Amino acid sequence: MAERAALEELVRLQGERVRGLKQQKASAEQIEEEVSKLLKLKAQLGPDESKQKFVLKTPKGTRDYSPRQMAVREKVFDVIIRCFKRHGAEVIDTPVFELKDFDIAGQFDPMIPDAECLKIMCEILSSLQIGDFLVKVNDRRILDGMFAICGVPDSKFRTICSSVDKLDKVSWDEVKNEMVGEKGLAPEVADRIGDYVQQHGGVSLVEQLLQDPKLSQNKQALEGLRDLKLLFEYLTLFGIDDKISFDLSLARGLDYYTGVIYEAVLLQTPAQAGEEPLGVGSVAAGGRYDGLVGMFDPKGRKVPCVGLSIGVERIFSIVEQRLEALEEKVRTTETQVLVASAQKKLLEERLKLVSELWDAGIKAELIYKKNPKLLNQLQYCEEAGIPLVAIIGEQELKDGVIKLRSVASREEVDVRREDLVEEIKRRTSQSLCIC
């Protein structure tokens, strides 16, 4: 420790010598020689291991988002939130959306909430424009009934269910080998399951299975099939039946589902030039879970529930890839107008005008420099995607007007100062869009 302290003192003294020479404006050669001595002393001193080093790292399992990425995320969330609210959703502070479709104290048709969830799912995916999609539906009661008539032991229902759920990723032969080789299911039982789970279609398949001599004799399966037939009637009324496929291989591994289950998959990501294929799996899913809430009720009351989840991280990946491939520009701010000046010494006037616009609810900003060049201000608007520029000049101040410039068309018009807010609102409301 004493040796290090002595070296630190030498470094300090040599540093003072270098600073003194610079103040005295000594020759460059003399200063360079003393600086070289200082560097050698610092090299001998080395780093101080006792001083704590701070390394900023992103916590495991999280990521940082750039302004561009955040702009994309906000637009995606905006589409999702507005869709839920259009269907009467309320926001709770988890944050989660709770869909108020019915009063559980009264009588209601349980298929209406399921149909509306599927409608919401289709609206969100269509609005996001991430590619063609298909929503697969099934019913856990049909699955359980199917397993029962095929001869699956009760103890193996859930493990066989998880194998069936892999059919969207691997072949039937691989699923069968897992059932028989790893899970001990009899080969003939697996074959009977295969006859069912490889089927998919629309309401005609539901009607066909209602006539199935074995499946129609199982109470659970019969209830599920009747509900699915009714569900398809509502989906037709909602105009989305062409987006829905009854798929007997859809299992959804979570045990708490009690009825209809659904999962949305992309048929393809947008086929744009330069894009790499992106495998993202399902982008939305949900179902009915009538027994879940009752588990937390002291009286154990049955509370009918449906829910859906949106795979936002997967959707973000698709949208980001599309934007990068197309080299599309993404606005990272919502600024409607930049307050600019045409001459020098107009900072105070810019500050007064931008404050008026803020107070009126206009999203406005200004360049912080005292006397920015007009060309630089206009270029900033083009780079940031700001649609309008409110230009103040000496003549405009005399005439009581503001020169309003459209960045896209470069058209300029004089607007009376008292009319500026309404003119900005009128122009920006016409150009609103969800990208």
Q: Domain coordinates of the chain in residue numbers?
A: 1-45, 67-325, 337-430
Task: Give pLDDT, residue 254.
Answer: 63
CA 388 to CA 339: how far, in whole Å?
9
Q: Which residues are annotated as a binding site for L-histidine?
A: 103, 252, 256-257
The CATH code that applies to domain 337-430 is 3.40.50.800
Write the burial class of residue 292 (CB in 10 Å: 0-12 exposed, 13-18 middle, 19+ buried): middle
Phi, psi dihedrals of residue 384, rounded to the nearest 5° = -90, -10
- The pLDDT tens digits of the residues spanning 225-281 come to 999 999 999 999 999 999 999 999 998 766 788 899 999 999 864 444 444 444 457
What's the pLDDT score for residue 107?
Answer: 52
Per-residue pLDDT of the chain (435 residues; tens, 9 = 90+): 677 777 888 888 888 888 888 888 788 788 888 888 888 888 887 766 555 555 666 666 667 778 888 888 888 889 998 898 898 887 776 555 555 444 444 456 778 889 999 999 999 999 998 889 999 999 999 999 999 999 999 888 888 988 998 888 899 999 999 999 999 999 999 999 999 999 999 999 999 999 999 999 999 999 999 999 999 999 999 999 999 999 999 987 667 888 999 999 998 644 444 444 444 578 999 999 888 877 777 777 778 888 889 998 889 888 888 777 777 777 888 899 999 999 999 999 999 999 999 999 999 999 999 999 999 999 999 999 999 999 999 999 999 999 999 999 999 999 999 999 999 999 988 654 433
Task: Report the CATH fold assignment for 67-325.
Answer: BirA Bifunctional Protein; domain 2 (3.30.930)
Among the listed residues 165, 134, 166, 170, the one whose alpha carbon sits nearest the alpha carbon of residue 266: 134
Measured CA to CA, the distance from residue 343 to residue 296 in angstroms comes to 69
Q: Which CATH architecture has domain 1-45?
A: Orthogonal Bundle (1.10)
Sheet arrangement for strand 200-201: 200-201, 244-247, 133-139, 260-266, 282-288, 306-310
List the binding residues: 103, 252, 256-257
What residue has token string 């101080």? 48
Residues 6 or more apart in contact with residue 394 via CB below 8 angstroms: 342, 343, 346
